[in-house]
Amino acid sequence: MKNKNILISGAGIAGVSLAFWLKKFGFQPTIIEISPKLREGGYAIDFMGAGYDVAEKMGILADLEKVDMDISKLAFVDENNREHGSMNYRKIKRLMNNRALTLLRSDLAKIMYKALDKDIEIIFGDTIHKIAQDDEKVSVTFRSGSSRSFDLLIGADGLHSKVRNLVFGNEAQFEKYYGYYTSSYTIENFPDEGKVFSMYNIPNKQAAIYSDGKGKTMAFLIFTSPEKLSYDYHDVDQQKKILKDQFTNAGWKCPELLSKMDSTTDFYFDSISQIKMVKWYKDRIALIGDACCCPSLLSGKGSTLAMVGAYMLAGELKQAKGDYKVAFEQYEHSLQPFIAKKQKAAQRFAKSFVPKTNFGIWLRNIAFKAMSIPLVSKLLLNPFKDRGLKLKEY
């Protein structure tokens, strides 16, 4: 096996699953993560399709089942919390032959992290500052000042990837913004919602809450913005202010969700965007997950596709005995058409994602009622089955 020493930038879903598979296939991964510890937080993920299959191969399904949120229904509510339509979640699970879970992103991240081999080196609280590569190696300088060399470097550092910026160019040329911002965070001392995911809309805004089953409530907010907003990705106070301006007068439980936002420890805020790149690698450096092919929240598949990409990249490296030229090409060639389809499907959904008028909200509620017709729900679930992708055994 050649090129065994591999640096991964980012300990998100993509980075941690890649480290898992690389180690299993005989490589020596090192992870560098900018945050001082594993990042928690994030929304509830519909976990099914190819990502579910990868989790099964990782041997973590039993642990994931233990933290399944077992949501019973998605309820559309009005200002007074009266229900105007719903979707039966348990029925969806049955239609997926029970190979579906609803997981908090943070539970998925923690379980994958726990599954990592203990001798994998993980550097927290640092980031790559400079990158140079030649025929032999990739040399990196960290923000902390130290320099090291690796055989390969993989950028798994998300939508605003630093590796992508340093090696492939600035974000704007790869980002397709879809006109929405989203935020999620955990709050305490809020009435328990039981197993219901309650969603409230006014034109151009959507707020949802659900309980984690352990005494905490998750808030999940989306608003439209035709133009991209200008703010610092690392300035959480600035992001909270944007959210307050958007939702203070939105009604329902929004004022209370906002008033508890300041004490949250896992605030997440970002645009709903996709990343589209023609090439996912340059010599000894490749990208995975959101860094190269973010499908966005609109696809409902960001985390599961990141796990699939990690499995395939590690598998191709194993199959090519570490020959990165063969492996990177094969990884891109096998996954790119499938991701393109997922991105296109998400794109079609973009316009109607958050209704922009009261009529649109009414129409959306009617459409979800149609989901109770078995044929309709079967058709709508088809894209989640990922039939267009055959996972190889490596």
Choices 30-38, 187-195, 223-231, 333-341; region in contact with ligand FAD by CB under 6 A = 30-38
Stretch that binds ligand FAD, among 66-74, 257-265, 300-308, 314-322 (CB under 6 A): 300-308
Closest CA to 335 of 292, 284, 384, 367: 292
Answer for which of 46, 53, 151, 157 binds ligand FAD (CB under 6 A) is 157
Kindly state the number of chain residues that form the binding site for ligand FAD, as judged by CB under 6 A.
32
Stretch that binds ligand FAD, among 144-152, 290-298, 344-352, 356-364 (CB under 6 A): 290-298
Q: Say whether residue 74 binds ligand FAD (CB under 6 A).
A: no
Residue 102 binding ligand FAD, by CB under 6 A: no
- Of the pair 17, 133, the CB lying nearest ligand FAD is at 17
Among 6, 7, 19, 34, binds ligand FAD (CB under 6 A): 34
Contact status: 386 vs ligand FAD (CB under 6 A): no
**Binding flag, residue 206, ligand FAD (CB under 6 A):** no
Q: Do 386 and 50 meet the contact criterion of CB atoms below 8 Å apart?
A: yes
Select 15 or 383, whichever has its Cβ closest to ligand FAD: 15
Taking contact as CB under 6 A, which single stretch among the options 36-44, 131-139, 255-263, 320-328 is the one that binds ligand FAD?
A: 36-44
**Contact flag: residue 330 with ligand FAD (CB under 6 A):** no
Q: Looking at 196-204, 295-303, 346-354, 375-383, which segment touches ligand FAD (CB under 6 A)?
A: 295-303
- Interface ranges with ligand FAD (CB under 6 A): 9-15, 32-35, 39, 41-43, 105, 127, 156-159, 162, 182, 184, 268, 289-291, 297, 302-303, 306
